[in-house]
């Protein structure tokens, strides 16, 4: 969408994004835990230069980059899902990274981006669950 205001003027409404995602803040679990039990429930660990969540004393390695910083930029797989006209390897595309953007975790930053995109409202879905 190149001109959000033109879209709204033509149709009489701004779009609703029903598939918006965010990356959880690093303290999304720990800030809600009773400090007396936090170490038994959830913590972060540095192992071989990577940050992993530790759940109930077990290192969770299911997500290679659990902090999502850096992260693949938005739209990196767009051409791939449109038939892959360039024959790109999707894993190579996902190796492209940029620092995590504020709007991926910060509510006010996200609302500002939605305003510039002309999005009225959205449903937000977590990345980790």
**Count of the separate structural domains present in the chain:** 1
Domain assignment present for 100 = no
Domain assignment present for 111 = no
Alpha helices by DSSP H, the chain: 4-11, 38-41, 78-81, 90-94, 107-117
Kindly state the average pLDDT of the residues 43-54: 93
The residue range of the domain holding 54 is 25-62
Domain assignment present for 126 = no
Q: Give the contacts of 28 (CB within 8 A, at least 6 positions apart).
A: none
> Is-contact 33 41, C-beta < 8 A?
yes
Residue 98, classed as helix, strand or coil, is strand
Domain assignment present for 32 = yes
Domain assignment present for 56 = yes
> Is-contact 66 60, C-beta < 8 A?
yes
Domain assignment present for 68 = no
Q: How far is CA 57 from the centre of its chain?
A: 26
Strands (E) across 1-129 are located at 16-22, 42-47, 50-55, 58-59, 121-126
Place of tokens 């939605």: 114
pLDDT tens column, 85-128: 999 999 999 999 999 999 999 999 999 999 999 999 999 999 88
At 19, give phi and psi (nearest 5°).
-145, 60
Looking at residue 43, its pLDDT comes to: 92
Which residues are paired to 16 by β-bridges?
Answer: 121
pLDDT tens column, 50-84: 999 999 999 999 888 899 999 999 999 999 999 99
Domain assignment present for 57 = yes
């Amino acid at each position: 969408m190149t001109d959000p205001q033109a879209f709204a003027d033509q149709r009489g409404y701004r779009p609703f994004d029903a598939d918006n995602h965010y990356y959880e803040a690093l303290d999304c679990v720990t800030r809600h835990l009773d400090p007396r039990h936090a170490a038994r429930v959830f913590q972060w660990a540095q192992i071989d230069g990577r940050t992993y969540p530790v759940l109930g004393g077990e290192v969770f390695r299911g997500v290679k980059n659990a902090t999502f910083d850096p992260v693949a930029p938005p739209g990196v797989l767009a051409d791939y899902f449109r038939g892959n006209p360039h024959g790109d390897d999707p894993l190579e595309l996902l190796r492209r990274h940029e620092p995590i953007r504020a709007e991926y975790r910060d509510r006010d930053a996200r609302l500002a981006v939605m305003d510039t995109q002309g999005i009225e409202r959205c449903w937000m879905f977590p990345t980790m669950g």
